[in-house]
Amino acid sequence: MADSPRPTLTARERAELADANASGRRPVMFVHGLWLLSSSWDSWRAMFEEAGYATVAPGWPDDPETVAEARANPEVFAHKMVQAVTDHYLEAARHLTLKPAIVGHSFGGLIVQKLAGEEVAAATVTIDPAPGRGVLPLPASALKSGSPVLGNPANARRAVTLTFDEFVYGWANNLDEDEAKQLYEEFHVAASGVPIFQAAAANLNPFSETKVDYKAEGRGPLLVVSGEKDHTVPHAISHAAYSKHSKNVSVTEFVELAGRGHSLTIDHGWREVAQTALDFIERFAPPGPV
């Protein structure tokens, strides 16, 4: 029998999980993607807690707690792979007394699909999700967005920081320059290069860590949210993920938000996206007390 993954939860994460359990309310777990920290969900958490949910937002293993710490030590992000990150969130989900609803963006959107396939979610919202194995479209804008990492094979072993121009193309192409600069300064941190290589090679590798169990009977309801103007995860990728999930016995829905780019969870329009997620979760996993 394979060894269980080593425990990776931090003291802060364990305290959040304990508080959620003590509340008696339905937990919602938020999963961020590359180039962000868990603090990027702070506004969402306040909104969901006001709606009656308990919220938790673990980071990726060994993530710094603040943007300042992350910028001082960017090398800490190197080598983080999809399955190790998934195992970290599985550990968190299994510490919860009640099955959580889960929300993820970008590579976090891929990870929440993998968690749903492990049947640990009461409902799942995946926002502009990075492609899992079996998702075939690879539009030109997605290739260009990934080129700061994929353009150098050595980046598979490195942490990569986007330049402002790269951030604008991949994340903020639908925003004015002032807002793009504000988001870059407030939220952007280095990211592990290897998950992007894992996603790029997924359909050549039957054992890829990006593999999702689309047919899991206990997956629960799932919503795919797509930003119409997203360069990093264009419509074709998000809709292909929806098509893979639509064969599941559970409810599967797709929403495309007009005019929105990859920054949709943190930019001025975040509340529209959060409300879309909240409405879906309230339908299938009410807040409680349970």
Whether 167 is covered by a domain: the verdict is yes
In a domain, 106, yes or no: yes
**Separation of alpha carbons 4 and 280, rounded Å:** 33
Which residue intervals of 129-269 are DSSP H helices? 140-150, 164-170, 177-187, 194-200, 235-245
**DSSP readout, 97-139?**
SSPPEEEEETHHHHHHHHHHHTT--SEEEEESPPPPTT-----
Q: Which domain holds residue 165?
A: 11-283
In a domain, 4, yes or no: no
- Decide if 74 contacts 95 (C-beta within 8 A): no
Cα separations (Å) of 204 from 8, 86, 157, 207? 30, 21, 20, 9
Report if residue 290 sits inside a domain: no
* Beta carbons of 92 and 9 less than 8 angstroms apart: yes
**Tens-digit pLDDT string for the chain (290 aa):** 345 567 789 999 999 999 999 999 999 999 999 999 999 999 999 999 999 999 999 999 999 999 999 999 999 999 999 999 999 999 999 999 999 999 999 999 999 999 999 999 999 999 999 999 989 888 899 989 999 999 999 999 999 999 999 999 999 999 999 999 999 999 999 999 999 999 988 888 888 999 999 999 999 999 999 999 999 999 999 999 999 999 999 999 999 999 999 999 999 999 999 999 999 999 999 997 65
For residue 48, tell me if it sits in a domain. yes
pLDDT (0 to 100) of residue 2: 43
- Inside any domain, residue 5: no
DSSP-derived letter for residue 77 is G
pTM attached to this predicted model: 0.95
Position 81 in a domain = yes
Task: Specify the amino acid at residue 43.
Answer: S
Separation CA 243–CA 104 (nearest Å): 18
The answer to whether residue 289 sits within a structural domain is no
pLDDT given at position 289: 64
CATH number at residue 130: 3.40.50.1820
* Closest by Cα among 190, 192, 194 to 68: 190
Q: How many domains does the chain have?
A: 1
Predicted local confidence at residue 4, as pLDDT: 53
Per-residue model confidence (pLDDT) at position 161: 97
Q: DSSP 3-state helix, strand, coil percentages of the chain (rounded to 5)?
A: 45, 10, 45
